[in-house]
Amino acid sequence: MSPINPTADQPLKPFQRPRRLRRTATLRKMVRETILTVDDLIYPMFVTEGEGQKVEIASMPGCYRFSLDLLLREIAEVSQLGINAIAIFPVIPEDQKDDTGTESYNPEGLVQETVKAIKKAVPEITVITDVALDPFTTHGHDGLVDENGIILNDPTVEVLVKMALSQAEAGADFVAPSDMMDGRIGAIRKALDTQGYINVGILAYSAKYASAYYGPFRDALDSAPKFGDKKTYQMDAANSKEALKEVELDIAEGADIVMVKPALAYLDIIHQVKINTNLPVAAYNVSGEYAMIKAAAQMGWIDEKKVILETLTSIKRAGADLILTYFAKEVALMLM
């Protein structure tokens, strides 16, 4: 009769064998908990003035500044790949910038004309517009600045409201305030509703951190601040409870989707936001995260496709319902 207790000659064998469910590719697919799909992706795109322009961004290999004519072709292509939404970011010439960002709400400005053209050419795609002043200001900050270099909150919100209204009038499906000024979600929601744009949504950059991962994006738009930094309005990287406070405020003020930015160094924040809200949660896989993968791949140090998919899957696993990523087109092709 076999002994009940194991001996040195008869060690206890495991009762549970999790490896059974990893034995074949088919089994692994059957029990997979997180599945990345093209429906999860939002594609950030850069638009510039002119015609026939497709200029690669040096610090973001594979990403381009498109003039409107070529941007429309690219959007038609990504729509065919199943990408449902794009986020538009403008490259504004220096001679159109000023200290107060007045070009941001020009009804015939680059963003507004781009939105009109997209909705005419590819009406089914969801168009998200950025609401922030840094591409439009000479100083490169997301808000108005006083003589002492202080970012002014409430006067900035007034300009952001004008900007959001002009984008809604042009046909934007969502406006996305990325400035981190206090109270701007409520002010924009009230203005949109008052002007009859009740169906225009707000994707709020609710927990946007003052991150070093934004460098390549600022190269793309030539929008780096000319003095100081953005730490008086973007969040401290050390804080997590504050993120939940910001999200709670944005929801109370009328946000439809809340977002965490960046993504990879803030997976814990994405998770906390997800379990503390019933709204869709977006995450921004930002330019620095993109650039690091591209650089390592160019050096032959990583398997680029596998790392891209693993990275985006980790963001979704953390709780993101939507992912803004410069990899969107590449991933759509991988998932076909």
Residue 280 dihedral angles phi and psi, to the nearest 5°: -60, 140
Would you call 212 exposed, middle or buried from its count of C-beta atoms within 10 A (0-12, 13-18, 19+)? exposed
Amino acid identity at 111: V
For residue 41, CA distances in Å to 33, 167, 258, 277 come to 18, 22, 15, 20
Closest by CA position to 60, among listed 265, 284, 213, 259 = 213
CA distance 133 to 300: 38
Is there a catalytic annotation at residue 230? no
Task: Choose, from 97, 116, 230, 261, the residue flagged as catalytic.
Answer: 261
Is 119 among the residues known to form the active site? no
As to burial, measured by CB atoms within 10 angstroms (0-12 exposed, 13-18 middle, 19+ buried), residue 238 is exposed
Q: Which two tokens stand for residue 75?
A: 């959007």
Q: Which two tokens stand for residue 172?
A: 């934007």
Contact present, 210 and 246 (Cβ < 8 Å)? no
SS3 75: helix
Query: What are the φ and ψ backbone dihedral angles of 49, each rounded to 5 degrees?
Result: -75, 165
Q: Which two tokens stand for residue 79?
A: 């729509």
- Whose structure tokens read 């093209």? 38
Q: Compute CA distances 58 → 18, 220, 301, whole Å.
A: 46, 8, 20
Q: Which residue has the tokens 């990403």?
A: 63
Q: Burial of 209 by CB count in 10 Å (0-12 exposed, 13-18 middle, 19+ buried)?
A: buried
Catalytic residue among 208, 274, 294, 329: 208
- Catalytic residue numbers read 208, 261
